[in-house]
Structure 1
Amino acid sequence: MLRSYRPALLGKDLVAGVVLTTLLVPQGMAYAELAGLPPITGLYTTILGLVGYALFGPSRVLVLGPDSALGPMIAATVLPLVMAGGDPDAAVAYASMLALMVGAITVLAGVFRLGFVADLLSRPTQIGYVNGLALTILVSQLPKLFGFSVDGSGLIDEAVAFVRAVQDGETVAAALAVGVACLVLILVLQRLWPRFPSVLASVVLAIAAVAVFDLEARGVSLVGELPAGFPPFTIPGVPVADLALLFAGALGIALVSLTDTISTASVFAEKTGDEVDGNREMVGVGAASLAAGLFQGFPVSTSGSRTAVAYQSGARTQLTGLVGAAAIVGLLVVAPGLLRNLPQPALAAVVIAASLSLANIAGVRRLRRQRRSDFVLAVVAFLSVALLGVLYGIAVAVLLSILNVFRRVWWPHQAMLGRTEGMRGFHDTEYRPTAEHLPGLAIYRFDAPLLFANARTFRDQVRRIVDTEPRPTWLIVAAEPITDVDTTAADMLEDLDADLAAGGTRLVFAELKDAVRQKIERYELTHNIRDNRFYPTVRTAVEAYEAETGASWTAGASPYRLD
């Protein structure tokens, strides 16, 4: 990129990098606390995430770093492993090891071209998952917004503990005022003036309010002095017994990170005219997490909001991210005390604003309107995250996506075909009623690969068709949608053909793909189902039936229907 860099882009990338920094600093600190880690680790992670992706990532504009979607997952993985008392150093070590695992998983997935794993979350389950995540984040930040802390495991426990604390009068009025003011400012500015750095404005005003109104004396918690300088290269050490639990969490985090990265990359590739390479994206995001894990950071993902800010500010290359990383390093080296008076409720407001932008209520409404089964999937995924937690929620979401694919293969769409007046070809009689038919001929279409999972479905439906009176002489299978036949289905076809032949019905195939035909020959089915059973099109099969039987088209709909 540097060798082919055009000087005309330098000014835009520098300005975009400076603007991006104003968003990176407060969000990095806020998302670190969301993950249950010290705020400074969010800045370390931001720096290394930007540098790692700039060196290995393919996109010219994507911005990687701490992410609101990963925060609860990191906390759910790390915090149960930290000893009682919540030692921050131990939490950082666990989070860094988690980053190394996530990075290794994603890099290896990219090297072995496993980019398809990002498709394991279908769109309906993604919508349900992120909505559950948004609610989880919102509830987790409410105590900090109100100026106190609670102990609770899971959404319901935290919500109950929050309500009880409010009823017990633990609310710090000054903290609530600062948090609500910051939240309102961020939401209003984002709506009225999207390009304005609303997060930076709220942070600056909150720091000013601490100085003017002496909010620390009024019980408002502050971030405090950040460690000066940059952390040394560190290989985290954790007990071997905990590695298995960390790895389980790393798998879920890697999946969410890759899904977010590839989907965001696709959006911005359209804007920049680039092509998305899922495998290279895996290597890029994996390198970013590996880099963060070696410098006291935690796993990273792509941020759609920060990428949008960078792009709108003029970013056209990864130099923008490097400028942002350099600016944060300068902050840590030159002015580490600049954010000492940043109120914790302001960080909570930043996270809550991110959770509200994460939610997709409109998507749920659209699913309910367009496809009820997908709406049910989204609701189940939402409840899984909300009730079981983010880690179990992502496992349920993936399982639901896989089961949904299996369900559609198991019970695919099926159709009886007929000829419609004024239209060429043969069409689904459910949607285009027919006015004539050929006596003794049934044309059946099965819209899926023929596999072990649906072989019984195919067989039973064919048997129900041929049991119709009068029994069909020919049953033509419109096989163009059948993209595969496995050995279980092949055995079924052999038995089914024998049964139909015994009853006087010939099983015929039309439009069967050459690759599938070769498999049938390899299974030795053609010893029984001979060449005269295969036709290149449905029309040629119908013409062969007419020629052999002398049947002619008769007024009235076909008697053969699907059950």
Structure 2
Amino acid sequence: MTSEHRSRGLVSRLRVVPGVRAVSSYRREWLGKDLVAGVVLTTLLVPQGMAYAELAGLPPITGLYTTILCLLGYAVCGPSRILVLGPDSSLGPMIAATVLPLVAADGDPDRAVALASVLALMVAAIMILASVAKLGFIADLISKPTMIGYMNGLALTILVGQLPKLLGFKVDADNLIGECVGFVQELADGAVVPAAAAVGVGGIALILLLQRVLPKIPAVLVMVVLAIAAAVVFDLGARGVNLVGELPEGFPPFTVPEIRLSDLAPLLAGALGIALVSLADTISNASAFAARTGQEVRGNQEMAGVGVANLAAGLFQGFPVSTSGSRTAVAERAGARSQLTGVVGAALIVLMLVLVPGLFRDLPQPALAAVVITASLSLADVPGAVRLWRQRRAEFLLCLAAFVGVALLGVLPGIAVAVGLSVLNVFRRAWWPYNTVLGRVRGLEGYHDIRSYPAAGRLPGLVIYRFDAPLFFANAKAFRDEVRRLADADPRPSWIVIAAEPMTDVDTTASDVLEELDEALNAQDVHLVFAELKDPVRSKIERYGLTRTIDPAHFFPTVEAAVAAFRLRTGAEWTESGDDRPEAEHR
């Protein structure tokens, strides 16, 4: 092989990497917009990065390290042109819930950083392995109602946890109820620092006001600048207000974190929950912004990109990251055209750490609490919960259960509750599916639900029954009991036609139940008939040997064909219905 062929092969292999492909297709006219968008994005990245680091129980500088490395990692391996990654308000409490119990009473920040870095590496491994195994569908394990409940519970947890910091004091508690009780007690004891409360509450009011009145202005940056100015002018440090202090100077140091072997199991449990939430965020945000830019969503590549971003963060004293809808929206509004926007943001943060590390020295901690609280408000979806209450009470109860799970059990158990409830909801629908008898309605083709059309016509001696689910071990007996009830009617039908189009499967347990059911019905001179059964399901029934009891002649391609065969055999005529309007029209 010549050197020219080898070089061509190398180039073709490198083009598989999204970042290389993006560079090769980059347009010169995008440069100005990407540079401007990068500057605008940085104004949001710095204060949010520091605030979300503290939310995770880590030093503020780790938020900046994490932001730099995840932006660079995703720029190389992420498929989306404008998706922005970084520390996230929804992951912060999960990181804290995983790391802080392992840090022990001394609260060693170096150990906390090492644990968080290992957590990021674990999330990276999970995401990359899931990408290789093409497991993007796992994001669907959390249904919309349970995700609404989870996020509302998370928002409340963040809000309550940040209130003491907002007002200038601390509360030591292990759960939401303990934090609420401690907060009230500290308020009653007069622990509020007036200057801290003024900065924190004023910061929240300013951010919310600017976001509503002047949405194009970076509200968080304006609030942070004013808070620093107030700290200097009024010497807030001497008035009992905690300040961020001097940040370490220089580029994030490459570090291989060292932890105890006993830490791995609890870290892995946390990493699985974080990876699941990050995956759901990534797929939803990627889908939303891809629709706007005309891109295709590549779920497995997105997982790989987020995995590499976490890998880079974990090796440079960072913590787990996810995509951010708010930061991506800022980049998009600022004119971002490619991942160069994120690279510019990372470069500007590095320059800040190298040239002016003391820039945020006088930033009040209550201002960071204000940033986190306003972010938590954006997580909550109270209107969504109200809509569920109005539209479907069963799904509202799922939402409420997920909310209570987070609020009472904690963030990590809460995500387990959310996933468990989503899976149980799917199982419940398959376990107790909708089922009904069908009849003929004048003026409408086909056969229709007699619950919607109570006066629908029927054929004497024939029942058309529809069971809207695959037939498997959990619902086979419910199917059997309902068919038996129909067979015991007076007068007794001679055919029960199963409108089997919704039956996408019949497992071996259901096969045994069908065999017993058919034998029992045959003894009563009632015949079980199938119509519109899908070919794969029919093949399974034949493979199970069910045609020994179910007459092969009792399988029809359509319900109409089964009805025609029954009428030809019996001469039955349709009973005329008096009023075929839907039940809703009667009301």
The residue correspondences of 1:13-412 to structure 2 (distance < 5 A) are 13-412=34-433
Per-residue Cα deviation, 1:503-522 (whole angstroms, up to 9, x for no partner): 11110111111111111111
| Residue in structure 2 matched with residue 453 of structure 1 by the alignment | 474
Per-residue Cα deviation, 1:504-554 (whole angstroms, up to 9, x for no partner): 111011111111111111112123223211111111110011011111112
Q: What is the CA distance between 1:316 and its match in structure 2?
A: 1.8
Per-residue Cα deviation, 1:8-66 (whole angstroms, up to 9, x for no partner): 11111111111000000000000000000000000011111111111111111111110
Per-residue Cα deviation, 1:98-134 (whole angstroms, up to 9, x for no partner): 0000110111011101111111110000000000000
Residue aligned with 1:2, SS:
helix
C-alpha contact (below 8 Å) 2:200/2:370 kept by paired residues: yes
TM-score by length of 1: 0.98
1:438 and 1:210 map into 2 onto residues whose CA distance is 85
Paired AA for residue 342 in structure 2: G
1:553 and 1:101 map into 2 onto residues whose CA distance is 66
Per-residue Cα deviation, 1:132-179 (whole angstroms, up to 9, x for no partner): 000000011111110111111111111111111111111110010011
Residue aligned with 2:23, SS:
coil
Per-residue Cα deviation, 1:245-286 (whole angstroms, up to 9, x for no partner): 110111111101111111111111110111212211111111
C-alpha contact (below 8 Å) 2:450/2:456 kept by paired residues: no
1:3 and 1:556 map into 2 onto residues whose CA distance is 70
C-alpha contact (below 8 Å) 1:33/1:39 kept by paired residues: yes
Residue aligned with 1:144, SS:
helix
Residue aligned with 2:470, SS:
coil
1:557 and 1:411 map into 2 onto residues whose CA distance is 32
C-alpha contact (below 8 Å) 1:183/1:352 kept by paired residues: yes
1:48 and 1:533 map into 2 onto residues whose CA distance is 66
C-alpha contact (below 8 Å) 1:51/1:321 kept by paired residues: yes
C-alpha contact (below 8 Å) 1:100/1:289 kept by paired residues: yes
1:205 and 1:141 map into 2 onto residues whose CA distance is 20
Residue aligned with 1:126, SS:
helix
Paired AA for residue 428 in structure 1: D
| Residue in structure 2 matched with residue 496 of structure 1 by the alignment | 517
Deviates more, 1:527-536 or 1:363-372: 527-536
Q: What is the CA distance between 1:232 and its match in structure 2?
A: 2.1
Paired AA for residue 14 in structure 1: L
1:557 and 1:115 map into 2 onto residues whose CA distance is 53
Q: What is the CA distance between 1:308 and its match in structure 2?
A: 0.6
1:217 and 1:491 map into 2 onto residues whose CA distance is 80
Given the alignment, which residue of 529, 551, 554 partners 1:530? 551
C-alpha contact (below 8 Å) 1:421/1:434 kept by paired residues: no
Q: CA RMSD in A?
A: 1.1
Paired AA for residue 422 in structure 2: S
- Percent of pairs identical after alignment? 69
C-alpha contact (below 8 Å) 2:153/2:403 kept by paired residues: yes
1:499 and 1:5 map into 2 onto residues whose CA distance is 72
After superposition, the Cα gap between the structure-2 partners of 1:360 and 1:435, relative to the gap in structure 1 and judged at 3 Å, is closer
1:288 and 1:207 map into 2 onto residues whose CA distance is 31
Structure 1, unpaired ranges of 5+: 559-563
2:456 and 2:396 map into 1 onto residues whose CA distance is 37
Deviates more, 1:20-29 or 1:284-293: 284-293
2:63 and 2:531 map into 1 onto residues whose CA distance is 61
C-alpha contact (below 8 Å) 1:224/1:341 kept by paired residues: yes
Paired AA for residue 170 in structure 1: A
Deviates more, 1:466-475 or 1:270-279: 270-279
| Residue in structure 1 matched with residue 585 of structure 2 by the alignment | none
Aligned length: 558
C-alpha contact (below 8 Å) 2:385/2:399 kept by paired residues: yes
TM-score by length of 2: 0.94
| Residue in structure 2 matched with residue 429 of structure 1 by the alignment | 450
Paired AA for residue 506 in structure 1: H
- Asked whether 1:486 is paired with 2:507, we answer yes
2:294 and 2:577 map into 1 onto residues whose CA distance is 55
Q: What is the CA distance between 1:557 and its match in structure 2?
A: 8.5
Q: What is the CA distance between 1:446 and its match in structure 2?
A: 0.6
2:305 and 2:455 map into 1 onto residues whose CA distance is 56
Per-residue Cα deviation, 1:427-450 (whole angstroms, up to 9, x for no partner): 111112334221000000010111
After superposition, the Cα gap between the structure-2 partners of 1:238 and 1:435, relative to the gap in structure 1 and judged at 3 Å, is closer
Residue aligned with 2:568, SS:
helix
